Amino acid sequence: MQKLWNINRWGFHFRNPISNYYIVETITTTMNQVIETLVTHKSIRHYTDEIPSDEVIETIVQAGQQAPFAHQLYSVLLSRNKERNPFSAPLLFTICVDSHKFECIMAKRNWKIKTNDLTVLLFGIQDACYMAQNMVIAGESLGLGTCFLGYPLTTASTIAKEYNLPKRVFPVVGLAMGYPAEDPPPRPRYPLDFVLFEDEYPELNDDRIAEAMKIMDEGYLSQGYYRKINYKIPLQDGEETFTFTDYSWTEHICRKLGQWHDSLEDQKEQLKACGFFID
């Protein structure tokens, strides 16, 4: 299966499946404004001082709410405190799993929640993530830049205090937003045939894995991504042998999932502080 288009900062580049060359085209039957917004997405980490209006904010959150939901098990926190927000973003949303709200509704109907907390959390994360991504698309379609932030999962207890969250509300993801002060190129993605598996999951042979790694790594290296931000995740064991010439995306992600967050107890503590118990 061929990926028919690719993008870089100069626009859409369509791949010629035979020569493997990228040729620039402007019109295709599957391109429209929505698809264009989606495929030109890039996370923004530098923002101008311009403050998005209340109308813009409300439109974005309402567009988020129109995401499909199973239970609407979410709430959105907003901070306009630029000084406190990551990247000094004018807006910081924190999207939370919120079972509190629904349990209030249940009480009105003389019901008590019976579903176990892990399942509630998984249901809530589904709802919260669709809502959050809708907000990203809405924001970007209005000319704003966005960047998700993963820290709430491991700092939930602090966020709970900061925003005075009731029990049964668990912050899942942060979302910085504002008008962009940078225009980075879109980041690469795995090739389509490493993601879309029709009818059955294929054998991931060495060639297939190498091809996916190459596309990701060469994409990040050619943008000088880690060199520009001058950051490598430190190794917990062993000496650093990588330079910015070969410190690539797959190495970066390996250093996260290969080193961090091994303690289930730590995660359970964060959940417990928010009133969720996983045993």
Interface residues toward ligand FMN, by CB under 6 A: 41-43, 45, 147-151, 173, 186-187
Q: Which is nearer to ligand FMN, 42 or 168 (CB)?
A: 42
Minimum gap (Å) between residue 91 Cβ and ligand FMN: 16
Q: Which is nearer to ligand FMN, 52 or 145 (CB)?
A: 145
Q: Which is nearer to ligand FMN, 187 or 268 (CB)?
A: 187
- The token pair at 277 is 């118990």
Q: Which is nearer to ligand FMN, 89 or 160 (CB)?
A: 89
Minimum gap (Å) between residue 244 Cβ and ligand FMN: 17
Minimum gap (Å) between residue 149 Cβ and ligand FMN: 4
Minimum gap (Å) between residue 183 Cβ and ligand FMN: 12
Q: Which is nearer to ligand FMN, 187 or 227 (CB)?
A: 187
Minimum gap (Å) between residue 76 Cβ and ligand FMN: 15
In whole angstroms, give the CA distance from residue 74 to residue 133.
13
Q: Which is nearer to ligand FMN, 120 or 125 (CB)?
A: 125
Q: Which is nearer to ligand FMN, 45 or 46 (CB)?
A: 45
Under 8 Å between Cβ of 159 and 78? no
Per-residue HEC secondary structure of the chain comes to: CCCCEEEECCEEEEECCCCCCEEECCCCCCCCHHHHHHHCCCCCCCECCCCCCHHHHHHHHHHHHCCCCCCCCEEEEEECCCCCCHHHCCEEEEEEEECHHHHHHHHHCCCCCCCCHHHHHHHHHHHHHHHHHHHHHHHHHCCCEEEEECCHHHHHHHHHHHCCCCCCEEEEEEEEEECECCCCCCCCCCCHHHCCCCCCCCCCCHHHHHHHHHHHHHHHHHCCHHHHHCCCCCCCCCCCCCCCCCCCHHHHHHHHHCCCCCCHHHHHHHHHHCCCCCC
Minimum gap (Å) between residue 171 Cβ and ligand FMN: 12
Amino acid at 247: Y
Cα distances (angstroms) measured from residue 107 to each of 73, 102, 183: 16, 9, 49
Minimum gap (Å) between residue 132 Cβ and ligand FMN: 9
Q: Which is nearer to ligand FMN, 67 or 173 (CB)?
A: 173
Minimum gap (Å) between residue 123 Cβ and ligand FMN: 18
